[in-house]
Copies of this chain bind each other. A is one copy, B any other.
Amino acid sequence: MSDDVRVAVAAESDVLAARQEGRRLAAAAGFSGSDLTIIATAISEVARNIVHYATRGEILLRVAHLDGRPGIVVVARDEGPGIPDLEQALQDGYSTGGGLGLGLPGARRLMDELEVVTELGRGTTVTMRKWTA
């Protein structure tokens, strides 16, 4: 699939790269205006979490379709420590790192779907999707 984009994330400059790539691919998928900023913001949150909590990982970006509607799939993957209490981590205001604790629940609000698969000592994969209107 020519539309697949991978951004290695190990430093903050990679977070900036990931959101730029996300904006570009979202535009290619047919998103416009404030949706581009919304998608880039969600990517920024999960990419920052990789740097902050897992040191390194990657962001995969892909155009996809649901019932013929184009959209974007963002996968943020790392082999970091995993999330001990996922239910709490998905709630507003919960942070183990002194953040605002809005990253995961906020990204869920920005996108149409957000799922987290995590295993202690093994890593975390956040998958987010958003479809054009």
Binding site for B on A (CB under 8 A): 55, 67, 95-98, 108-114
- B contact residues around A108 at 8 Å (CB): 95-98
Is there contact, CB below 8 Å, between A67 and B96?
no
- B contact residues around A109 at 8 Å (CB): 98
Residue of A55, A97, A98, A108 with most partner-chain B CB within 10 A: A98
Nearest residue in B to A112 (C-beta to C-beta)? B97
Bound-state Cα–Cα, A112 to B67, Å? 36
Bound-state Cα–Cα, A48 to B7, Å? 36
Bound-state Cα–Cα, A96 to B104, Å? 11
- B contact residues around A114 at 8 Å (CB): 96, 98
Q: Give 3 nearest A-B pairs by CB, closest first.
A: A98-B109, A98-B108, A55-B67
Bound-state Cα–Cα, A64 to B67, Å? 37
- B contact residues around A110 at 8 Å (CB): 98
Closest beta carbon of chain B to A92's beta carbon, Å: 9
Closest beta carbon of chain B to A10's beta carbon, Å: 10
Bound-state Cα–Cα, A77 to B66, Å? 21
Identify which of B67, B98, B111, B112 contacts A111 (C-beta below 8 A).
Answer: B98
Bound-state Cα–Cα, A109 to B93, Å? 12
Nearest residue in B to A52 (C-beta to C-beta)? B112
Bound-state Cα–Cα, A97 to B97, Å? 25
